[in-house]
Amino acid sequence: MCQLLGMNCNTPTDIVFSFTGFATRSQEHADGFGIAFFEGRGVRLFVDHQAAVRSPVADLVRRYPIRSTNVIAHIRKATQGPVGLENCHPFVRELWGRYWVFAHNGDLQGFEPRLHAAFRPVGDTDSERAFCWLMQELAKNHARVPSPQELTETLRELAEVPASHGTFNFMLSNGHALWAHCSTRLHYLVRQHPFSTARLQDEDMSVNFAEVTTPNDRVAVIVTEPLTADEPWIPFEPGQLRAFLDGAPLPV
């Protein structure tokens, strides 16, 4: 299956360290990759149907440290839909006058919801279909952007529907908060003062975060499998949905 990476922060932060370790895993998950950064009301989206370990687009991301408060990245191991640019995550849609970014890890069998014209998939994946359905149902449930707490409750109920068709690990962000839902495996950690040194599991690379942060910085990193060997990653419970705001998880 695919793998997910998300970051939510209280100040714009670059994700080069985490993305470097994450991209290494595309040797196994080689059917495309993508990464989306929010910058104010806009989104920078980079996708490629090539594996991240050999993609020139991924190399650009590693060399160009875009700073953002919300980032979602994905490396694909195809289950539904051929390898192609239109099937690369993350996917982006507009709702309530802002962009929403979504990526999924899993396999949904027989999930064929009725979709109206406002939200239709471009590609062939169960993932984009589920995203369009989520956007459609959010629009039905709320007339305008709800608070992160309200949206968490709505998403928790909605997620049960596609999850009943298979594995539904996903990340969703509107540039303000980030939501992560676990069917099987997700982990998160919060980096905050006092910062320490972290070493990647998949690359010979380490960073002393105390040298590149301020005492007020806070960063939440969410990923399928822990990226570092020396940090306190916290596993999600199966079926759990968590919201992250300003670099910290909201109370469950």
Catalytic residues: 2
Here the tokens at position 43 are: 């989104």
The side-by-side arrangement of strands in the sheet containing 248-249 is: 91-95, 98-108, 166-173, 177-181, 241-245, 248-249
DSSP the chain: --EEEEEEEEEEEE-HHHHHHHHHGGGTS-S-EEEEEEETTEEEEEEESS-TTT-HHHHHHHHS--EEEEEEEEE---SSS-SSGGGPSPEEEEETTEEEEEEEEEEESS------TTS--SSS-HHHHHHHHHHHHHHHH-SSPPPHHHHHHHHHHHHHHHHTTEEEEEEEE-SSEEEEE-SS--EEEEEESSP-EEEBSSSS-EEEGGGT--TT-EEEEEESS-SBSSS--EEPPTT-EEEEETTEEPP-
**Whose CA is closest to 90, among 77, 79, 69, 75?**
75
Query: What phi and psi values does residue 4 have, to the nearest 5 degrees?
Result: -120, 150
